[in-house]
Structure 1
């Protein structure tokens, strides 16, 4: 899946193909909207978009209207949740003049240790319990301590701060600029799932944590309007991102602490144009260039003497560079009121250079890996509306994902396996078809949406057992581990179906439900693919009152999240999906029962409430109170592939104010 924020790709050269936590570096309080595109998005977005695209749009400054000289708004929020003692605060401010707009958003999160649910199946009475943890004696020696509260996941808490600053300048009716700066930083983040590991009834690690993770994002967007024959609107985005990741590990009773540091710099340029030929025909086209520079280093430090020695880096220690260049074109034709046709094509070229200074430690058979991959992808889509209340969507598309630095150059251990580089790894390709049906019935009171897809993959990248110089095991950080590597398998398939429905029972009561099922299989070895979640869904009944001078609105909701079993036989090979974090039979099915309420109090200048007027907009003056209870039944469960149990019964209080 490709992550995009404000038109700039977040995926970089060391993004893992598995389950990423990088979305949390985007400030949700600063989001305007989020768009999710299913299926290959490779025509518009390029490599990494095989499974779909999540595009996050942050808020932008507003300008003063024609009859005013100044417009401004202030918003703030506080939130508390009981399951992890969360304390979150947010402050936002924006001011707009005739041509200049400024927006600031600052959010701080303080999460404590997460308490899991205590209601378990009798078949798995100890599933997920945190039995022991590592501590220090008074003289600084490691010791193993029994957890007095086994439903409390110690060392899961962390802190995070997010900052967004935008400056918007409208030079004239045809030209404007926006400077977009985002910064995210966290405290150290402990790997609870690693600190929980036992070997011969003894904790494996005394320390395993990520150092403060930082993400700096800066982009300058230029918007141009023109009546030329080449384009009507153009967007030019020049961006730079800097990402720092550190991993610190120390085995129990070991005096050496290993520190592995990764620094990534990403430079990108996007040029996007659109042109309307007439009222029924239009096209978009553009080019993209992205350069990733990766630095990776490591050292082992004696915790007693502070002496340091060289250690093996996670990625090539001589540095890595990944370059992506692309051009695309997409055409849309509204044939008539009932048919819309679209087609697109994209050419991609990806270059990589990975340099290994130290090849002796693991006897790597190469000092350098060079990659030059290219692909031509396309898509064709058809929208058919045979009636006002019925729509069919048909899409056929091809996509690809070129292996990145993480896929090709990583040396790192997970569970009983160590991943090594595979210099012969090739891109994976996907050919996908989708069919969607949307129907509105009962005078718009009943809406149903069903989508099905089938994807055929060639050269699919999967993790398999591997040999290096004829050996199937090697010693990594003092431990003999089985070797695995990312390899290409000849054929694989992924297919699934998702459905959602909405029924308006009464004017104020709505019922919604959704369900998704996916299956993937390696057709050569006849084994399941990794990263495939079990069937999951959500059902919600909401009651909304939209009456009164001040009450707008009151909303009450009862809802449930649920997921099916994922049995051991359905897991992919190796350790990608964290089978060791499930039960002996796999990941059990689960469900939660939840309640939420929201009350909005609105203000105006005539309500007798004294408000300083510095261009503040009366229509946006409101206070929103929210009270929620999640996992009311205090069920214990883990979401797919997670090493951390989900929160138990959780009371949430929040207050949002807009002036």
Structure 2
């Protein structure tokens, strides 16, 4: 027998409690805030307990491997065991039920607003829906929404189209910082792929002009990406959590690996993310136009270009590439009112071919025009530092200072078939931005937002030509005037007035001043001007309301204006726009303006059926378009050794775009639902000479329909994607000249055929920490091209994924 003293007995008692007692903390998955009144019970409810005000629950009454249920009226039910919780650090993260959420929108004012009070159409995609759709890139993320049309010239790309506008008439924003820079072009862009979908917490797509908040470029819409934030700890100890994911797909032999780690204490937190993608050449479908097949391609043997037959014409040689993404965030919260955030973002691709240029036929139609046409690595870095203060103040209830530096790098390399000269241009952009945004909601039901913005861009551009036989490199004309700058200073006021509980009025106004400065080098081209010095201003505004005449019926009406100021790409670019044409600088440009009206309706039938619809009309004046031009009195000049028709960007057109958007959500049972979307867009461009032509970026009718079944562990989705036809007479003139990317109609003219795909995706929660996903896209193996796209879409594509939470 051992004789224990009272002190020893007390120590042993506390030691036993520490070893055998198990206390868990229940937190909101989105905010990290503890949740009280969570009911916890076993299968027959013979054992029960409830979380306290700090979200803590003692689980001593349960055995280690006993199934335990966590339930709350506002959260999704969660089932686990004590042993599984111990492996996860004794923390439970619960997701709010969709129907319990009063959806909050950030992009319309840069502060939180209730979606139901916003008159503009705004669609949101959260991280759970993004993880379920398993997009390869953020371009695919947008396309999977069913509400954005995405064009692709190559696998490493994706250019969104919204309401008949694209590229530099749409604005990209990442964590409140505009991504658009001074060389965002009117041709198709692939900058959106620099955003890693694994790091996206939420994406908000605002339809229609957003110039009051975002200034230049936000004519057709705004795509706001909000990346994941570090989570603080709500205990005195350091918490470490993380995720690891792997994905494989057969259409391009994709291998994607991702890992992220979160370190959190009460006052500081860190989030680190890394993703690597490897994509092989993309394989198209089996059933479709034979003209889409890649029958031959160019290789270089012993220094000589040779046209060879493709062993597998459905394989699109060369389209594969690699990409890596890195994100590091730090948050420091010294008090409940102050918060400091630092974000470091980096993305880089390998070289990747521009596929639509590689399939251009030679002038005699017997071969291919290019031996090489590829982009160099696309690089993007952003450092974003944000200070936020919340709390009552004489002039504001919240203030947010956002400063950011961005670096962009891109390059283009092309060489004609059996040509020894490889032409290259390389561009770098340094971008600095400062935003100061205020929130004030002190005056009853009147809420005011106001702020200022300054943006500065500097462009570095160079050109070279390399003799591939001798390796000699010579300087040649750059794509843009080297050292050109673009800057803007703006101030805005935006207000929200809750006139009645069922009627909200929103209005805003912004003034932007823009300066463009570029000096033209005359070494290679005898420009009839020395510089471009453009100073211009723009006043934009918006006014709209959200009205609930009945609790289950919403009417929204909104009028707004938008603008786009000329950038360096507009005034100073030299490039081959299409076969036989070259674009030259034009320093005599003015901003283009858009006037937009939108009506939206939403009807809820007893939470069983929800119907949504929107109609809009946009009028664009002084439109910046590419048209024939004369250079020193000449309509044709030599470019890269070829005689080329001269074109330039000009304020030479007006555009009319209108359309209808429909949505349906049906809830048959607790587990079974149906969602569907349909978008119809029509657009016309009218030149100053009165000539009409279809708008280039107005996509065909498109939509989707999803039948979804889900329970706590399994979610399965059978869905249909479809696109309408674009006949030859409805193709824009610039598209009709690209007959090599289109099918031929009965008369031998290019057109874009209609198409559909049948698809399936699923996700199964194997354990609380481990999940697996299986998808099968394009089950019927259709061979199709998205409208205006160079690359052909994937054929039947098996997608496998696995994710682990630790």
**What TM-score do the two structures reach when normalised by structure 2?**
0.76
Q: Tell me how far 1:100 sits from its aligned partner.
A: 0.9
Matched, 1:325 2:325: no
Cα shift readout 1:233-252 (whole Å, capped 9, x = no counterpart): 11111100001111111111
Q: Tell me how far 1:194 sits from its aligned partner.
A: 1.3
Q: Tell me how far 1:601 sits from its aligned partner.
A: 2.9
Aligned-partner SS, 1:182: strand
Q: Give the root-mean-square deviation of aligned CA atoms.
A: 1.4
Aligned-partner SS, 2:231: coil
1:440 alignment partner in structure 2: 604
Matched, 1:638 2:785: yes
**Pairing of 1:226-265 with structure 2 (within 5 A):** 226-265=391-430
Q: 1: CA distance between counterparts of 2:637 and 2:562?
A: 36
1:470 alignment partner in structure 2: 633
| Higher share of residues assigned helix | 2
Q: 1: CA distance between counterparts of 2:624 and 2:398?
A: 38
Matched, 1:338 2:338: no
1:37 alignment partner in structure 2: 206
**Pairing of 1:158-557 with structure 2 (within 5 A):** 158-199=321-362, 200=364, 201-316=366-481, 318-358=482-522, 361-416=524-579, 417-441=581-605, 443-523=606-686, 524-545=690-711, 552-557=712-717
In structure 2, runs of 5+ residues without a counterpart are: 1-169, 744-748
Q: 1: CA distance between counterparts of 2:369 and 2:186?
A: 26
Q: 1: CA distance between counterparts of 2:655 and 2:788?
A: 21
Q: 2: CA distance between counterparts of 1:527 and 1:355?
A: 34
Q: 2: CA distance between counterparts of 1:574 and 1:592?
A: 28
Aligned-partner SS, 2:356: helix
1:548 alignment partner in structure 2: none
Aligned-partner SS, 1:44: helix
**Pairing of 1:552-591 with structure 2 (within 5 A):** 552-574=712-734, 578=738, 580-583=740-743, 584-591=749-756
Q: Tell me how far 1:470 sits from its aligned partner.
A: 2.4
Contact 1:571/1:577, CA 8 A, preserved across alignment: no
Q: Tell me how far 1:475 sits from its aligned partner.
A: 1.2
1:608 alignment partner in structure 2: none
Q: 2: CA distance between counterparts of 1:412 and 1:56?
A: 31
Matched, 1:11 2:180: yes
Q: 2: CA distance between counterparts of 1:575 and 1:450?
A: 30
Distance 1:471 1:580, change over 3 A: farther
Q: 1: CA distance between counterparts of 2:467 and 2:666?
A: 63
Aligned-partner SS, 2:424: strand
Cα shift readout 1:80-110 (whole Å, capped 9, x = no counterpart): 0000000000000001001110000000000
Aligned-partner SS, 1:203: coil
1:649 alignment partner in structure 2: 796
Q: 2: CA distance between counterparts of 1:449 and 1:18?
A: 32
2:238 alignment partner in structure 1: 70
Q: 1: CA distance between counterparts of 2:602 and 2:736?
A: 36
Q: Tell me how far 1:188 sits from its aligned partner.
A: 0.5
Q: 1: CA distance between counterparts of 2:434 and 2:585?
A: 30
Residue 93 (structure 1) aligned to one of 256, 261, 270: 261
Q: 1: CA distance between counterparts of 2:599 and 2:767?
A: 43
Which protein has the larger Cα radius of gyration, Structure 1 or Structure 2?
Answer: 2
| Higher share of residues assigned strand | 1
Matched, 1:107 2:275: yes
Distance 1:577 1:68, change over 3 A: farther
Q: 2: CA distance between counterparts of 1:487 and 1:569?
A: 24
Aligned-partner SS, 2:333: strand
Q: 2: CA distance between counterparts of 1:456 and 1:49?
A: 14
Aligned-partner SS, 1:148: coil
Number of residues of Structure 1 aligned to a counterpart in Structure 2: 626
**What TM-score do the two structures reach when normalised by structure 1?**
0.93
2:225 alignment partner in structure 1: 56
2:284 alignment partner in structure 1: 116
Distance 1:84 1:311, change over 3 A: same
In structure 1, runs of 5+ residues without a counterpart are: 546-551, 604-621
Contact 1:579/1:641, CA 8 A, preserved across alignment: no
1:601 alignment partner in structure 2: 766
Q: 2: CA distance between counterparts of 1:228 and 1:190?
A: 55
